[in-house]
Amino acid sequence: MPIKRGLENGKYYYQYGESGKKYFYITGNKISRDKAKLKAVKQMKAIKVSQTGGAAFRFNTLPKERVEELKIKYAGKAHPSFVEQYADILNDRPRMMGWRAHIPSNLWYPEEHAAYLRDGSPKTKADFARIMGTVGNARQY
């Protein structure tokens, strides 16, 4: 089902499919229209993930002791249930990949949030160097 544009009571909106929520926008305002369309796209992604099983049915393969260690490590940064669900990603070494830096973080998939937390939440080149080591002095894992 595509994202469609419609008109209801003199107001324009974007909607995913026939039964999705209608996201209204101000006519003639490009920013308002783009925000409404972005919300419809976000809803479409959420529906597709839920239909295909997506991350909601993720199974953790780590031992309970390691999951508890990760909960302590990420306390205050992520909810304990999130840590349980994505423990396999959080347990991996920093890779500086797995999340899209060119897209706003509120549009990331949960797996991308987990990878970003795993990588130390870098924001600058100095953060990347701190986490990964320098070119001549690579970290040993």
| CA dist., res. 119 & res. 51, Å (int) | 29
| pLDDT at residue 136, rounded to an integer | 47
Question: What's the pLDDT score for residue 28?
Answer: 92
What is the residue whose two structure tokens read 């706003």? 104
pTM above threshold 0.75: no
Residues 6+ apart with CB under 8 A from 44: 1, 3, 16, 17, 20
Q: Which amino acid is at 75?
A: A
- The reported pLDDT for the residue numbered 84 is 85
Alpha helices, DSSP H, located in the chain: 30-52, 64-73, 80-85, 87-91, 110-118, 125-132
As a residue count, the chain comes to 141
Average pLDDT per run of 10 along the chain, which is 141 residues long? 89 90 93 92 79 59 87 88 84 75 80 82 75 55 46
* Max Cα distance, the chain (Å): 64
